[in-house]
């Protein structure tokens, strides 16, 4: 395992396909001879040099910029050589093959091999150029689907998140040192808790941790987004609503019940939060469905509903007072997720008067969220957007949010629980000081998992294998 981490590696660093410029990047120890062989000259460190990239017969494969970063001053912390060529897939493959060939010639760099996904960034982590949260932010920056997500990933990459975690860990270390010093003098235990204001310190740490957790939750939302399913009877206007939200004719809309057969989805952004909206086949009983295709579509609708963060249950206002229609709506509602994750949306306000609307709303049970709108005129759409953000739990302005992952939230929650347990021991006037110390240690370790200061080996494999090759 360790030896593999030291093999020199090579990969195309730019996206597959054609581009103005494409980069082949090599990282490892002792790259200077390889650089000389490929460019025919000695490169000045960190200065872009224009010239040919040479094949085995010293003929140019391409002309471009070569960059040499001697260790440790590089992205990976090892020697890095970049060949910045023209961005064609064939020329880049040729250059990469040439690197491997040149490395093999005369045992110049015999262990050079193509890089695995994320291996450059993994090395940056192993060589202390980035901590784990920063390395993850590299991938999140590349994958960001909205401007707010990209900005918050850049904030994590620059170390904002990590610094807040480290500050919490420093606070815990101070407290642990006090406790552990006192452990050697058991007769002074109770005194210690008072004198050092251990409980006050603990409470302040918990408060700070809560603030970080809150921001991290917002950051995770920017990364993952919110999945919203539009469900309801045929013809309620589900596809019309998707199209209205997306501002494009994505799904087919007709007056025929049973138009939508398969799921149609689109990712919108509302204040920078990615919202994945899924339009589904109208729900009706198997007996009412026109054919096998529609029945399969309806089964998929239920699957989508089960996997949603929130469900918009769409009702047709023009039909809502019809007892059969209302009964079918009740049957669907009985199978929807709980109230906190669903909203009753009454559509087609443009076709009913205020009296009719009031009569329909009067029939909605207490405690259900409701909204009226017209997918056709778009009246009420802004209110729906705001409601979606509220359902997502978004309450921040994107400034100041750093990107975070579920993994980080889990670690933060665990750190918080151990602080809670520590507080429980601190409140007892008996010999619980060692248990208090142990909970502090566990909290400290949980936080350490975020930045990788404390980590399981397989965690790194899981994280870096999800990167793209060359990153
Ligand atoms: N051409 C190119 N552009 C790129 C990258 C790259 O590898 N190559 N990056 C790859 O993701 C990002 C930039 N990341 C980098 C991070 C550190 C260093 C570096 O040379 N660090 C040295 C010196 C720092 C300094 O002078 O302040 C060091 O850490 O010691 C270079 C690129 C984005 N753009
Ligand atoms: N007047 C009016 N008509 C609407 C509105 N929303 C949808 N409609 C009409 O209602 C009909 C059904 O709309 P769709 O969006 O296809 O309904 P759906 O819920 O997707 O239907 P299925 O795919 O069959 O389940 C179409 O004729 C739409 O033009 C609205 O707000 N006002
Ligand atoms: Mg439809």
Bridge-based pairing state of the strands 9-12 and 113-114 = parallel
Q: Is the CB of 223 inside a 6 Å radius of any atom of ligand 1?
A: no
3-state DSSP call for residue 30?
coil
| Residue 134, ligand 1, Cβ within 6 A | no
Burial class (CB in 10 A: 0-12, 13-18, 19+), 76: buried
- Among 229, 238, 240, 312, residue to substitute to test ligand 2 (most atoms within 8 Å of Cβ): 240
Q: According to the annotation, is 64 in a ligand binding site?
A: no
Q: Could you tell me the residue ranges of all domains in the chain?
A: 3-131, 138-221+405-452, 225-392
Tell me which residue of 422, 424, 345, 420 sits closest to 379, measured CA to CA.
Answer: 345
Whether residue 76 has its Cβ less than 6 Å from ligand 1: no
Ramachandran bin of 364, using left for φ above 0, alpha for ψ from -120 to 50, beta for the remaining angles = beta
DSSP-based three-state secondary structure for 423: helix
Cα of 234 vs centre of ligand 2, distance in Å, is: 8
Structural contact between residues 62 and 53, judged by C-beta atoms closer than 8 angstroms:
yes
Q: How far is CA 378 from the centre of its chain?
A: 31
Q: What is the DSSP string of 236-269?
A: SSHHHHHHHHHTS--S---SSTT---S-EEEEEE
Compute, in angstroms, the gap from residue 106 CA to the centroid of ligand 2.
72
Instruction: Find out whether 88 is annotated in a ligand binding site.
Output: no
254 marked ligand binding residue: yes
Spatial distance between the Cα atoms of 94 and 324, rounded to a whole number of angstroms: 69
Q: Which ligand is nearest to the CA of 128?
A: 1
Q: Which of 218, 244, 201 is nearest to 419 (CA)?
A: 201
Evaluate whether 357 touches 317 at the Cβ level (below 8 Å).
yes
Please state which CATH number belongs to domain 3-131.
Answer: 3.30.1360.120
Q: What is the CATH number of domain 138-221+405-452?
A: 1.20.120.430
Q: Is 392 part of any known ligand binding site? A: no
Write out the chain's pLDDT in tens, 471 residues.
456 678 999 999 999 999 999 999 999 999 999 999 999 999 999 999 999 999 999 999 999 999 999 999 999 999 999 999 999 999 999 999 999 999 999 899 999 999 999 999 999 999 999 999 999 999 999 999 899 999 999 999 999 999 999 999 999 999 988 888 777 776 666 666 677 788 899 999 999 999 999 999 999 999 999 999 999 999 999 999 999 999 999 999 999 999 999 999 999 999 999 999 999 999 999 889 989 999 999 999 999 999 999 999 999 999 999 999 999 999 999 999 888 899 999 999 999 999 999 999 999 999 999 999 999 999 999 999 999 999 988 988 878 899 999 999 999 999 999 999 999 988 876 668 889 999 999 999 999 999 999 877 788 888 999 998 889
**Does ligand 2 come within 6 angstroms of the Cβ of 350?**
yes
Structure-token pair, residue 269: 């952004």
CA dihedral 89, 95, 96, 99 (to 10 degrees): 180
Looking at the CA of 129, which ligand is closest?
A: 1
Cα 254 to ligand 1 centroid, rounded to whole Å: 54
The Cβ of residue 147 has, within 10 Å, a number of other Cβ atoms equal to 11
Q: How many CB atoms lie within 10 A of CB 255?
A: 6
**Which residue, by CA, sits nearest to atom 30 of ligand 2?**
348
The CATH classification of domain 225-392, taken from the options 3.40.50.2000, 3.90.120.10, 2.60.40.1120, 3.40.50.300: 3.40.50.300
Mutate to test the pocket of ligand 1, among 48, 75, 135 (most ligand atoms within 8 A of CB): 75
Q: Please give the distance, rounded to the nearest whole angstrom, from the Cα atom of residue 75 to the centre of ligand 1.
A: 5
For 338-405, where are the alpha helices, taking DSSP H only?
354-362, 381-392
Rounded Cα–Cα distance for residues 151 and 422 (Å): 36
Rounded to two decimals, the pTM is 0.87
The Å distance, Cα 36 to ligand 1 centre, comes to 21
Determine whether the annotation assigns residue 238 to a binding site: yes
Spacing, Cα 125 to ligand 1 middle (Å): 13
């Amino acid at each position: 395992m360790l030896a593999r981490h030291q093999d020199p590696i090579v990969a195309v660093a730019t996206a597959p396909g054609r581009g103005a410029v494409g980069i082949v990047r090599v990282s490892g120890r002792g790259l200077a001879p390889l650089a000389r062989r490929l460019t025919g000259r000695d490169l000045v460190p960190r200065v872009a040099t224009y010239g040919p990239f040479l094949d085995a017969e010293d003929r140019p494969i391409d002309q471009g910029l070569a960059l040499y970063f001697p260790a440790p001053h590089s992205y990976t912390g090892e020697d890095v050589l970049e060949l910045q060529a023209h961005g064609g897939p064939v020329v880049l493959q040729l250059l990469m093959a040439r690197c491997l060939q040149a490395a093999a010639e005369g045992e110049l760099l015999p262990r050079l091999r193509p890089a695995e996904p994320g291996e450059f960034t993994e090395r940056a982590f192993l060589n202390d150029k980035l901590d784990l949260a920063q390395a993850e932010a590299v991938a999140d920056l590349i994958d960001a689907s909205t401007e707010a997500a990209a900005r918050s990933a850049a904030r994590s990459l620059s170390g904002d998140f990590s610094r807040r975690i480290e500050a919490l860990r420093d606070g815990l270390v101070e407290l642990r040192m006090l406790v552990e010093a006192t452990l050697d003098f058991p007769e002074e235990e109770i005194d210690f808790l008072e004198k050092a204001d251990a409980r006050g310190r603990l409470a302040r740490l918990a408060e700070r941790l809560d603030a970080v957790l809150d921001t991290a939750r917002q950051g995770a939302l920017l990364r993952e987004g919110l999945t919203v399913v539009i469900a309801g009877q045929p013809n309620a206007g589900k596809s019309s609503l998707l199209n209205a939200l997306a501002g494009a004719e994505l799904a087919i809309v007709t007056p025929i019940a049973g138009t939508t057969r398969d799921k149609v989805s689109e990712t919108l952004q509302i204040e920078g939060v990615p919202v994945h909206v899924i339009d589904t086949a109208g729900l009706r009983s198997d007996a009412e469905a026109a054919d096998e295709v529609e029945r399969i579509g309806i089964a998929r609708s239920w699957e989508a509903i089960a996997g949603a963060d929130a469900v918009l249950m769409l009702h047709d206002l023009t039909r809502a007072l019809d007892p059969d229609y209302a009964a079918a709506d009740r049957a669907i509602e009985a199978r929807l997720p709980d109230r906190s994750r669903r909203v009753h949306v009454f559509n087609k306000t443009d076709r009913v008067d205020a009296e009719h609307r009031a009569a329909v709303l009067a029939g909605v049970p207490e405690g259900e969220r409701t909204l009226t709108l017209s997918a056709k005129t778009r009246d009420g759409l802004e209110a729906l957007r705001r409601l979606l953000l509220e359902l997502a739990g978004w309450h921040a302005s994107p400034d100041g949010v750093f990107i975070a992952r579920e993994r980080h939230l889990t670690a933060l929650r665990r750190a918080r629980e151990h602080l809670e347990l520590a507080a429980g021991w601190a409140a007892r006037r008996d010999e619980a000081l060692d248990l208090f110390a142990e909970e502090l240690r566990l909290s400290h370790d949980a936080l350490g998992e975020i930045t990788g200061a404390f980590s399981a080996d397989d965690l790194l494999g899981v994280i870096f294998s999800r990167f793209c090759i060359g990153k």
